[in-house]
Chain A
Amino acid sequence: SAVISQKPSRDICQRGTSLTIQCQVDSQVTMMFWYRQQPGQSLTLIATANQGSEATYESGFVIDKFPISRPNLTFSTLTVSNMSPEDSSIYLCSVLGLAGGHEQFFGPGTRLTVL
């Protein structure tokens, strides 16, 4: 089965700084997504990462805060900009289209703590 990796796996950052999270899949996929899981909460979709074009953001999320890139069919990045303690969460990428299927599979997540 395909492997989805994320870097970094965890980080502790100072407020006001930015962090870029990478998501790499070892095979081509049709769609990639980014989710946020705040402490003790469920997952919320941030955006759809579109290959070669601007990401599609969900209500409550904006490009200036969460810029996303997807240069090819196997890689995407999410940047959390100008961080505050409220951004402390687990950030997960997911992919769709592995082996032509309809299931979404998730990366291991990036656990972010903002001080």
Chain B
Amino acid sequence: GIQVEQSPPDLILQEGANSTLRCNFSDSVNNLQWFHQNPWGQLINLFYIPSGTKQNGRLSATTVATERYSLLYISSSQTTDSGVYFCAAPRGGYGNKLVFGAGTILRVKS
């Protein structure tokens, strides 16, 4: 099945700094999602982005499907951005059974 790898595994930022999180996947995909898990465990949808670029406020994401990676950009980070960021892709590259990466733990310090 598909392998989903995220980097870096953890990241510490000063408030106001920018960061880039990476997600590599081993197969072609028709679905790629980014999530933020807050300290209370809630999984929040950030982007559904099988290809192309999307922006939502301080966050943006780019997926280069032909090269099998996706990037999540966080600009002007805030302490509320802390938590774990997951990317997920479908098993076998297609369908709805998501395989999650190991996550990136982000800590934003004030």
Which residues of A are in contact with B by a Cβ distance under 8 Å?
31, 33, 37, 41-45, 48, 58, 90, 92, 94, 96, 101-106, 108-109, 111
Nearest-neighbor residue (CB-CB) of A90 within chain B = B41
B100 within 8 A of A: yes
Chain A interface mostly: strand
B55 within 8 A of A: no
Contact with A along B92-110 (1 / 0, CB 8 A): 0000111111110000000
A111 and B41: CB pair below 8 A? yes
B101 and A104: CB pair below 8 A? no
Tell me which of A31, A101, A106 has the highest count of chain B C-beta atoms within 10 A of its own C-beta: A106
Within the complex, the shortest CB–CB distance from B37 to chain A, in Å, comes to: 9
A94, B88: Cα distance in complex, Å? 13
Chain B residues near A31 (CB-CB < 8 A): 96
B17 within 8 A of A: no
With A58-B97, A104-B96 as known contacts, state yes or no: A43 contacts B86, CB within 8 Å.
Answer: yes
Which residues of B are in contact with A by a Cβ distance under 8 Å?
31, 33, 35, 41-43, 45, 48, 86, 88, 91, 96-103
Chain B residues near A90 (CB-CB < 8 A): 41
Among A42, A92, A103, the residue within 8 A (CB) of B48 is: A103
The 9 closest A-B pairs by CB, nearest first: A106-B43, A103-B48, A42-B100, A43-B100, A109-B41, A42-B102, A108-B42, A96-B96, A45-B97
The contact sample of 5 A-B pairs, CB cut-off 8 A, is: A42-B101, A90-B41, A101-B48, A104-B33, A104-B98
A94, B100: Cα distance in complex, Å? 13
B45 and A103: CB pair below 8 A? yes
A42 and B96: CB pair below 8 A? no
A31, B95: Cα distance in complex, Å? 12
A33, B90: Cα distance in complex, Å? 13
A104, B43: Cα distance in complex, Å? 11
A90, B37: Cα distance in complex, Å? 12
Within the complex, the shortest CB–CB distance from A60 to chain B, in Å, comes to: 13
A69, B79: Cα distance in complex, Å? 40
